[in-house]
Amino acid sequence: MPKGIFAAAVLSNRRIHACFWRMDLEFTGDGAGAFARFHPGQFLQIDVSEVGLPPEDQIPLDLRDVCKRNVLLRRPFSFADVTPEAGRTTAELLYCVLGPASVRLTSLRSGDSMSIIGPLGIGFSVPEHRHLALLVVGGMGAPPIRCLAKHLRAEHPEMKAVAFVGAKSTVALPFEGDLSGIPSAVGSWVPAFAKFGIPTAVATDDGSAGYRGFVTERLAQWLDEQKDWSPTGTILYACGPEPMLAAVARIAGERGIDCQVSMERRMACGIGLCQSCAVECRPAAPLRVGMEGSQETVYKLCCQDGPVFDARHVVFET
Ligand SMILES: Cc1cc2nc3c(=O)[nH]c(=O)nc-3n(C[C@H](O)[C@H](O)[C@H](O)COP(=O)(O)OP(=O)(O)OC[C@H]3O[C@@H](n4cnc5c(N)ncnc54)[C@H](O)[C@@H]3O)c2cc1C
Ligand code: FES
């Protein structure tokens, strides 16, 4: 079933904590078939042009003025979970309220409907002969990595996995449950990963949960502690802010580990028409005969060639 424009029914929509909300959706008919094939790392474009604002006292103070702007363009989101069932597919949207579109999403109630284009883009892939997957999340990078965790457990049960989750502080961790004060050791701290048997190391910049410092430092520390470990049997997957992705790519490159990163760009169309989502890349092969070793780069489209890219090819904007 190819991508298309589908109606999704809202099953529930509630605030988890801080700016984070969870919406459960249901697709039926052709939408159920299309999203049953949703692959972790792919995305969707949501239309909120017909969705009204919530009452003013429910809009964060700093967003009240900016939210009055009409939202003409669809917005890209990932799914944190997708469950195909007989005749329907349910999905979990995990979103952060930070502008006109996401504020409007908070006004949707059970029984409301939304227009969604998808599934879009190219998601994560699992190369052959990998025994260990390392999942790295920075802040709102959680949804596609959570979706990947479920996929790995279902389709590659033989692979071990460890998740590394980082944010500025405990309140900026987009997970349900209280994570404050947990230790920096790897453990079953995050239910969203623990339910798939995946232990987690948490890192926060202020030390309010887990390791005090960047999640990439915790990842490097953990890799240095491993004995009898095979870089070629390992794959790194990451989603989060671009400086974090650049650091993960560096760690992977230094140790000879394959790494896939999910990139974010502003996306006006999401389907390869507007060229607004360029990602600078090193070509996988020389562009022309005799150009071996050249520093020449190409622009790829985050919405069509990604959002997931081989980290070796990306020229990060840092
Ligand atoms: C492939 C993809 C998947 C995404 N998945 C999710 C998800 O699962 N959950 C979620 O909460 N968000 C996700 N996002 C980000 C989401 O699209 C934006 O948060 C959303 O567009 C915000 O719309 P808004 O009108 O509320 O705020 P806007 O006013 O559009 O943006 C608010 C602030 O966020 C910044 N911003 C918005 N979009 C982007 C972007 N794409 N890249 C960098 N900065 C941006 C803006 O510069 C601005 O400072 C995803 C983005 C992409 C490209
Ligand atoms: S968002 Fe329009 S080309 Fe990518």
Q: What angle do CA 306, 92, 8 make, to 5 degrees?
A: 90
pLDDT on residue 125? 96
Other C-beta atoms closer than 10 Å to the C-beta of 267 total: 22
pLDDT on residue 161? 97
Place of tokens 């996306």: 267
Q: Which residues line ligand 1 (CB under 6 A)?
A: 43, 71, 75-78, 94-96, 98-102, 140, 143, 264-267, 307
Strands 258-262 and 234-239: parallel
Cis peptide before 119 (omega within 30 of 0): yes
Distance 39 CA to ligand 2 centre (A): 19
Ramachandran assignment for 35, one of left (phi > 0), alpha (psi -120 to 50 degrees), beta (any other): alpha
Q: Which two tokens stand for residue 56?
A: 């003013």
**Coil/strand/helix, residue 179:** coil
| 81, 116 Cβ separation under 8 angstroms | no
Distance 268 CA to ligand 1 centre (A): 11
Torsion sign (Cα): 112, 118, 121, 123: positive
| 57, 49 Cβ separation under 8 angstroms | no
Distance 237 CA to ligand 2 centre (A): 23
Other C-beta atoms closer than 10 Å to the C-beta of 213 total: 16
pLDDT on residue 286? 63
Atom index in ligand 1 nearest the CA of residue 96 equals: 11
Distance 293 CA to ligand 1 centre (A): 36
How many residues are there in the chain? 318
Distance 135 CA to ligand 2 centre (A): 27
Q: What is the pLDDT along the chain (318 residues), one digit of tens a residue?
A: 589 999 999 999 999 988 999 999 999 999 999 999 999 999 999 999 999 999 999 999 999 999 988 899 999 999 999 999 989 999 999 999 999 999 999 999 999 999 999 999 999 999 999 999 999 999 999 999 999 999 999 999 999 999 999 999 999 999 988 888 899 999 999 999 999 999 999 999 999 999 999 999 999 999 999 988 899 999 999 999 999 999 999 999 999 999 999 999 999 999 999 999 999 998 877 666 666 667 789 999 999 999 999 999 999 987
Q: Which residues line ligand 2 (CB under 6 A)?
A: 267-270, 272-277, 301, 303
Q: Which two tokens stand for residue 133?
A: 């997957």
Atom 25 in ligand 1: which residue has the minimum CA distance? Answer: 101
Distance 76 CA to ligand 1 centre (A): 7
| Phi and psi angles of residue 2, each rounded to the nearest 5 degrees, phi first | -75, 175
Q: Which two tokens stand for residue 97?
A: 């309220």
Atom index in ligand 2 nearest the CA of residue 266 equals: 1
Atom 13 in ligand 1: which residue has the minimum CA distance? Answer: 77
Q: Which of 295, 312, 274 is nearest to 76 (CA)?
A: 274
Q: Domains of the chain, with CATH numbers?
A: 4-120 (2.40.30.10), 132-264 (3.40.50.80)
pLDDT on residue 145? 98
| Element of type H or E holding 152 | helix 142-155
